[in-house]
Amino acid sequence: MLGGETEDSPMPHRPTHSPARKHHNRPFYKLPKDPKAAAETAWNVPDLCTAYNWPSGKSGGGVIGIVELGGGWTQSDINSFFQSIGQPTPSVTDVSVDGTQNAPGKSDDDYEVALDIEVSGAAYYAATGHAATIRMYWSQEIGTAVAKAAADGCDVCSISWGSDEANWGATDLQQMESAVQSAVAAGMAVFAASGDNDSSDGGSTPANVDAPASCPHVVGCGGTTKTASSETVWNDNPGKTNGEGTGGGYSTVFPVQSFQIGAPPAPANSQYGKGRMVPDVSANADPNTGYNIFVDGSATVVGGTSAVAPLYAGLFAAFGTKLGWVTPTLWKNQKAFNDITVGSNGFYSAVVGPDPCTGIGSPIGTSIAALFATLQ
């Protein structure tokens, strides 16, 4: 139970999430409604990596930066998780950008923090055979955390927080994109979750996209439901535009991007965004086929597109070099991904080829590694 609470010694109530922040940014983890059932179908990260044909023996050396706006982690949770999967514990260092601190036990945002560390570290080890180096950037602003991670020389950055573009506004979104553009110019690849509330992204209309995943220099990460035998668009509330499922759609701020080769245009009669398509890539995110992690002293199953960004971050850090803006290379090599052709996120449906549910698809790890082999 979270925070060490028991029926015999109740703890004071703590908020589900940390206090509201600028842009209403929130973490994109999801808990299964039936934990016992989810435990039967959840993935251990190394097994998921195997299912995604992860490379092995990569040089490694890439430093993983993770942005956090709240919650916290404990060394005992990290030790327990990595011991449970037979991997060495990564080196995890906290960096306060603006006075925000690692604060475990105060909100359920601890789920987010544990998920980010454990998934990225395990994915990195699966590809390298070495323990990861992870730096946690604590901030109330995503952009300043990204800038600090880049300035510190991180090779990849994972962001599992965000909000509907309408909550940001065009000016702040352009500033966010500027920060990311500078970061990738310095060699840091940036991955961000695309949201967990289907096509509406929790907004007031059926179709909205999440930021910072919508920023053109961010790799937007969508979600699937992956079992041992199939993979479809993640949507636990079929037919609804505001349930639990992968975010995705078209930006109202950023224009169509030429690097998104073959991306279908927004519906001609749509009153919603018609610009950059989100997401770019995807991977398992359904909490019902989620990830086994440790948080606040307990083993549990967690899902959400929050897991997808650190999964990719761990893979790309394994390449051990500063790759910068990787997105155009990925779009030019769509056969390095499993095309997801079944399912819907509410307003949009999967099709053959790219789509605003899962982008160009889920990873074929060895094929992605081969794209960057000459740089490693």
- Locate 313 and state its tokens: 């971050």
| 217 within 8 A of 328, measured Cβ to Cβ | no
Q: What is the 3-state secondary structure (H, E, C) of 293-323?
A: EEECCEEEEEECHHHHHHHHHHHHHCCCCCC
Give the E-state strand segments of the chain in sequence order.
26-27, 63-68, 91-96, 133-138, 156-159, 161-164, 189-193, 210-211, 219-226, 231-233, 249-250, 277-278, 281-284, 291-295, 298-302, 337-338, 362-363
167's tokens: 């909550």
Among 251, 306, 344, 362, the one annotated catalytic? 306
Find the distance separating the first CA and the last CA of the chain, reported in whole Å: 43
DSSP per residue over 234-260, as a string? -BSSTT-SSSSB---EE-SSSPPPTTS
Among left, alpha and beta (phi > 0; psi -120 to 50; other), residue 90 is: beta
Active-site residue flag, 306: yes
Quote the CA–CA distance of 201 and 162 in Å, as a whole number.
10
Phi-psi region of 91 (alpha: psi -120 to 50; beta: other; left: phi over 0): beta
Please, what is the Cα angle at 14 between 25 and 288, to 5 degrees?
65
Catalytic residue check, 112 = yes
Active-site residue (options: 116, 177, 196, 201): 116
Please name the residues in contact with 82: beta carbons below 8 A apart, sequence gap of 6 or more.
Answer: 88, 89, 90, 118, 121, 122
Task: Give the SS3 label for residue 151.
Answer: helix
Catalytic site residue from 112, 177, 198, 339: 112
DSSP calls for 2-43: GGG--SSSPPPP--SSPPP-GGG-EE--B--SSHHHHHHH-B
For residues 338 and 361, the answer to whether their CB atoms sit within 8 Å is: yes
Q: How far is the C-alpha of 70 from the C-alpha of 269, rounded, in Å?
A: 40
The tokens for 170 are 């065009």
20 within 8 A of 167, measured Cβ to Cβ: no
The residues carrying an active-site annotation are 112, 116, 306
